[in-house]
């Protein structure tokens, strides 16, 4: 298995895996979205790493740098890790996280954060096994009409 950065030529295979991911989470793809073009455009805004074995895409991770956090230093935030069913129990998620850690250290970043749902006990076990520590934080989301309402609110 190799872990490597995304290339534009990967957009078709990654679009298939991302569609599988949306199905897994019970989500739907935005109407009219050209997934391949969206992946290429957004790959300029975030880092994407892929796990593949013999040209078969097994998983991916997306992450980016955030600044500042406590101590006025940057951190790497992992937005998504997804492993296809065919990649389960092969160490794919661990290898993706190792690459994110390596990239972070190469950039002089010494903190990586991410979240998972409270129900995802398998992921939590993996992350505990990596040596990660769960912090007592509350995760907020602002979307759709509520996001627009904030924009439209008069001061």
> What is the DSSP code string of the chain?
-EEEE--GGGHHHHHHHHHHHHHHTT--PPTT--HHHHHHHHTTTSEEEEEEETTEEEEEEEEEEEEEETTTEEEEEEEEEEE-GGGTTTTHHHHHHHHHHHHHHHTT---EE----TT-HHHHHHHHHTT------------HHHHHHHHH---
User: Using 50, 70 and 90 to split pLDDT, how confident is the model at 30?
Assistant: confident
- For position 77, what pLDDT does the model report? 95
Residue 70's pLDDT is what? 82
- Domain of residue 120 covers 2-152
Q: What is the pLDDT of residue 139?
A: 85
The CATH code of the domain that includes 18 is: 3.40.630.30
Position with higher pLDDT, 76 vs 26: 76
Domain count within the chain: 1
- Give the pLDDT score at 91: 94
């Amino acid at each position: 298995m190799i872990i490597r950065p995304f290339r534009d030529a990967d957009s078709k295979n990654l679009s298939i895996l991302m569609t599988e991911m949306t199905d897994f989470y019970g989500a739907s793809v935005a109407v009219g979205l050209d997934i391949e073009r969206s992946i290429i455009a957004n790959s300029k805004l975030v880092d994407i790493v892929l796990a593949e074995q013999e040209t078969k895409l097994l998983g991916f991770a997306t992450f980016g740098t955030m600044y500042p956090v406590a101590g006025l230093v940057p951190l790497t935030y992992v937005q998504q890790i997804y492993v296809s069913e065919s990649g389960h129990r092969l160490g794919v998620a661990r290898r993706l996280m190792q690459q994110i850690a390596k990239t972070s250290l190469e950039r002089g970043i010494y903190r990586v954060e991410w979240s998972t749902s409270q129900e995802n006990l398998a992921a939590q076990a993996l992350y505990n096994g990596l040596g990660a520590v769960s912090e007592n934080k509350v995760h907020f989301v602002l979307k759709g009409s509520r996001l627009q309402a904030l924009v439209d609110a008069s001061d």
